[in-house]
Amino acid sequence: MQFKEATKNDAAALIEYFKLVGGESDNLLFGPEGMGLTTEQMEEMLFSLENAKKSTLFIGSVDSVIACVGSVRTNTGRAHMSHQGEIALSVQKKYWGQGWGKALLKELIQFGKASDLKALHLGVKADNPSAIRLYEKMGFTAYGNHPNFFKIEGKYFHKILMYLELEDSKTRMGEG
């Protein structure tokens, strides 16, 4: 497994990747139409991520083809929430069940720690047991439910909110 941080040169390949995975799963925020960004907009997004201190987009590749993608997004422009990053990830279907999701999530957690983030959070569709199991295995805890967050082909689905503290037990948040 080869992981790297994306650059704007990855824009075209990422647009195709998101269309592919969007068509393979109902558990993402988009379908086969992908992210709905032009190449130029994707380049801009990647350029800003590349230059952001506490945000990133990781690509995992096999033979130079994108197999999985994960991101950490931190709103450093908002001082009161810049200690926590939101993560998202996807794996191309033909690589499911081979440890990629776990390896990618480890990279994202490591990035969060190295960026001095105190916590990571995410939202996962309530009927996505594979992803929920993965997050629980990596230490995430469910803390809430966003009712009817997803609407897919006329059906509504809840979103489970999950959270992982990155600080060690000596300096836990809420203890000064």
Ligand X SMILES: CC(C)(COP(=O)(O)OP(=O)(O)OC[C@H]1O[C@@H](n2cnc3c(N)ncnc32)[C@H](O)[C@@H]1OP(=O)(O)O)[C@@H](O)C(=O)NCCC(=O)NCCS
List of residues contacting ligand X (CB under 6 A): 25, 27-28, 89-91, 96-102, 124, 128-131, 133-134, 137
Query: Which of 11, 134 has the CB closer to ligand X?
Result: 134
Query: Which of 43, 72 has the CB closer to ligand X?
Result: 72
Query: Which of 17, 43 has the CB closer to ligand X?
Result: 17
DSSP string, the chain: -EEEE--GGGHHHHHHHHHHHHHH-SSSS--TTTT---HHHHHHHHHHHHT-SS-EEEEEEETTEEEEEEEEE--TTSGGGTTEEEEEEEE-GGGTTTTHHHHHHHHHHHHHHHTT-SEEEEEEETT-HHHHHHHHHTT-EEEEEEEEEEEETTEEEEEEEEEEE-S-GGG-TT--
For the bound state, the minimum distance from the C-beta of residue 163 to ligand X, rounded and expressed in Å, comes to 13
Query: Which of 85, 101 has the CB closer to ligand X?
Result: 101
Distance separating alpha carbons of residues 81 and 76, to the nearest angstrom: 7
Query: Which of 134, 166 has the CB closer to ligand X?
Result: 134
Distance separating alpha carbons of residues 65 and 62, to the nearest angstrom: 5
For the bound state, the minimum distance from the C-beta of residue 117 to ligand X, rounded and expressed in Å, comes to 18
Residue burial 161-170, b: 16+ Cβ < 10 Å; e: rest: bbbbbbeeee
For the bound state, the minimum distance from the C-beta of residue 28 to ligand X, rounded and expressed in Å, comes to 5
For the bound state, the minimum distance from the C-beta of residue 143 to ligand X, rounded and expressed in Å, comes to 15
Closest CB to ligand X: residue number: 101
For the bound state, the minimum distance from the C-beta of residue 154 to ligand X, rounded and expressed in Å, comes to 20
